[in-house]
Amino acid sequence: MNPALAAGLQIALVIGVLAIAYVPLGDYMARVYTSDKDLRVETLLYRLCRIDSRAEQTWYGYAGSLLGFSAAGVVFLYFLQRIQGVMPLHGDLAGVSPAVAFNTAVSFVTNTNWQSYVPETTMSNFTQPVGLAVQNFVSASVGMAVAVALTRAFVRVRTSGEIGNFWVDLTRGSLRILLPMSFVIALVLLSQGVVQSFHSGFSSTGLDGSAVRNALAPAASQEAIKEVGTNGGGIFNANSAHPFENPTPISNIVEIIAILIIPVSFTRTFGTLVGNARQGLTLVSVMALLWGTLLAVTLWSESNTRGIAATAAGAMMEGKEVRFGIPGSALFAVSTTGTSTGAVNSFHDSFSAGGGGALILNMLLGEIAPGGVGTGLYGILVLALIAVFVGGLLVGRTPEYLGKKLGKREITLAALSVLVMPALVLIGTGITVILGSTTGFQGNSGDPGTPGSIHGFSEVLYAFASASNNNGSAFAGLTVTSDWFQSALGIAMLFGRFLPILFVLALAGSLVSQRQHPSGAGTLPTTGGMFAGLLTGTVVLVAALTFFPALALGPIAEALQ
């Protein structure tokens, strides 16, 4: 099949499914968070944990519950990895080293799922589902809870500042949304040949006659929540390029849809909750424009040949699965870096300078195209507030969003939320590249100005962009097993996750205490093409002003070589 036709058909299929699911799934998720009834299993959980599901929390209480729950998750997951050698189904695997256990615990609790280890030889079939898979559910549900809490702040007026109940939002997101969707996706993946086994592996004879040990794992269930929850941590080292995780072009499309479906539909949830569907459509149009533009750049870059190997292959096929080719690889890569998923079905380090640069930029935009489950929505809402403020300054209109005034406190909190990620990326990258000890861990290095040193810089920039955005993917040419990378990237994950959440919840607390102001002639419209253009321009301008020098030293310089 013609590559252009194959790309077009795959993109059309993904967009078609997302369009069909947009309204029913978005409205269903809105009902989940507004229902006044609890399921029986939820009632039982509340009783066991002594939670009053009818009590609401201020942003202080909401944030405290969230941070306490996440801290407990880090501690539990750390010790589970350390003692996995004496737990069931350990498969002769010993406990994980302290540095790797810390980095992994932080990674999965923050929904980053960055992996500095080989899963088959490090994590047991007990640690994977009991530790990592559980965090795949609850960490994703945490992001959704924050987005819903911010949404409530736009439509409620609570002088005492209540924005909801974290424990109820967490439970409902996990049990009513993520669990049933993951179950359905897992069945589809099983039908395509994704393995589901608690055996540690099996032996076979290789083509050269040598004995080969093949790892097995409960991959289908892990793969489903890995994509639905925009997590990304692979149960095998090759991640979604492994035939046991992603065996066919059909399973590849299913996984891409699973990555995008909740972040896209959550904009409909937002529109339904605020009583104006056009608000959600405006946000999703901006997400679609950014996603489509970067997809076009990546497809073009990877379809053009550069170098002897690429010319012989007819495209940039190095590091890509022949099962998926350029279209399936580029579509997966842009979708995963545009969300906080981090799953990969190709070797991002092997992408062309233009394609790799587009993937880095996708994360540096703030991962709002369409972003992770929940995180994409509250991320683009924060940028929407900044766009409203800027637009109001330009035309002299009142800075309001959905009837809530944007004063000094609100804009300060929004700006702080936006600035966390750039600070972590640029400071982390800057310190790393000036440390002489770190160049030896780069897959590419050399004298300043050489292609090797330029690509090595891109590897480090990608790593900190991935960690600070809680993405989890990597160029993979960078070895991150040293104490510096384990610690620095772990800190970037923690701050990149929880500082924006704290600022967003504080913003929600400020907004919910305001009375609703009716829109008038002096209010800037926040729907339609004009505001979508303003929001898109704000997103691009913030990223361009912040990251252009870093991109110029890396992928842009490499592309001009």
Q: Please, which pLDDT band fits residue 444 given cuts at 50, 70 and 90?
A: low
pLDDT at residue 451, as a whole number: 58
Confidence of residue 215 (pLDDT cuts 50, 70, 90): confident
Express each pLDDT in 77-119 by its tens digit: 999 999 998 888 887 889 998 889 999 999 999 999 988 888 8
pLDDT score recorded for residue 266 = 97
Q: Would you place residue 443 in the very low, low, confident or very high pLDDT band (cuts 50, 70, 90)?
A: low
Cβ–Cβ contacts within 10 Å for residue 212, how many? 12
d(CA 254, CA 324): 13
Lowest mean pLDDT among 187-196, 489-498, 536-545: 536-545
Closest CA to 474 of 348, 366, 372, 329: 348
Max Cα distance, the chain (Å)? 79
Instruction: Choose between 524 and 54: higher pLDDT.
Output: 54
What's residue 265's pLDDT?
97
Q: Where are the alpha helices (DSSP H) in 123-205?
A: 127, 134-155, 166-172, 179-191
Helix (H) or strand (E) holding 214: strand 211-215
Q: Bridge-partner residues for 398, per DSSP?
A: 523
Predicted confidence at residue 118, as pLDDT, reads 87
* Amino acid letter, residue 194: V
- Whether 206 shows a pLDDT value over 80: the answer reads no
| 26/163 Cα distance (integer angstroms) | 20
Residue in the block written with tokens 């996990």: 174
Q: Tell whether the model's pLDDT for residue 452 goes beyond 80.
A: no
Of residues 164 and 451, the one with the higher pLDDT is 164
The residue type at 498: F
Average pLDDT over every residue of 324-347: 92
Q: Is the pLDDT of residue 308 over 80?
A: no
Three-state DSSP state, 193: coil
pLDDT-wise least confident of 110-119, 313-322, 364-373, 383-392: 313-322
Tokens coding 238? 């090759």
**pLDDT value of residue 305:** 67
Cα 176-177-178 angle, rounded to 5 deg: 115
Q: How confident is the model at residue 218 (pLDDT cuts 50, 70, 90)?
A: confident
Give the H or E element holding residue 335: helix 325-338
C-beta of residue 265 within 8 angstroms of C-beta of residue 21:
yes
Query: What pLDDT sits at residue 309?
Result: 56
**269: Cβ contacts below 8 Å, ≥ 6 apart:** 26, 27, 29, 30, 33, 148, 151, 280, 377
Average pLDDT, integer, range 419-425? 95
Taking a C-beta distance cutoff of 8 angstroms, is the pair 104, 115 a contact?
yes
Task: Give yes or no for residue 366 having a pLDDT over 60.
Answer: yes
Predicted confidence at residue 188, as pLDDT, reads 96
DSSP assignment of 41-98, as one string? HHHHHHHHHT--TT--EEHHHHHHHHHHHHHHHHHHHHHHHHTGGGSTT-TT--PPPH
Residue 448: pLDDT over 80 = no
Q: Which band of pLDDT confidence, cut at 50, 70 and 90, is reported for residue 374?
A: very high
**If DSSP codes are grouped into helix, strand and coil, which group holds residue 205?**
strand
Q: Give 512 or 545, the one with higher predicted confidence.
A: 512
3 state SS of 108: helix
Peptide bond into 370 cis (omega under 30): yes
Record the tokens describing residue 380, joined without a space: 């683009």
pLDDT category of residue 363 using cuts at 50, 70 and 90:
very high
Name which residue leads in pLDDT, 318 or 370: 370
Mean pLDDT of 210-224: 86
Q: What share of the chain is helix, strand, coil (3-state, %, to 5)?
A: 65, 5, 30
User: Is the pLDDT assigned to residue 435 strictly greater than 60?
Assistant: yes
Distance separating alpha carbons of residues 157 and 460, to the nearest angstrom: 45
Closest alpha carbon to 149 in 10, 33, 305: 33
The pLDDT, as a whole number, for residue 441 is: 61
- Tens digits of residue pLDDT in 240-276: 999 999 999 999 999 999 999 999 999 999 999 999 9
Sign of CA dihedral 338, 194, 228, 108: negative
pLDDT at position 381 is 96
Over residues 460-497, the pLDDT tens digits come to 999 999 999 999 888 877 778 788 888 899 999 999 99
Classify burial at 54, counting beta carbons within 10 Å of its beta carbon; exposed 0-12, middle 13-18, buried 19 or more: exposed
**Could you tell me the pLDDT band of residue 310, with boundaries at 50, 70 and 90?**
low
Structure tokens at 31: 């009902």
Looking at residue 83, what is its pLDDT?
Answer: 93
pLDDT reading at 178 higher than 90? yes
pLDDT over 90 at 205, yes or no: no
Q: Mean pLDDT across the stretch 432-461?
A: 70
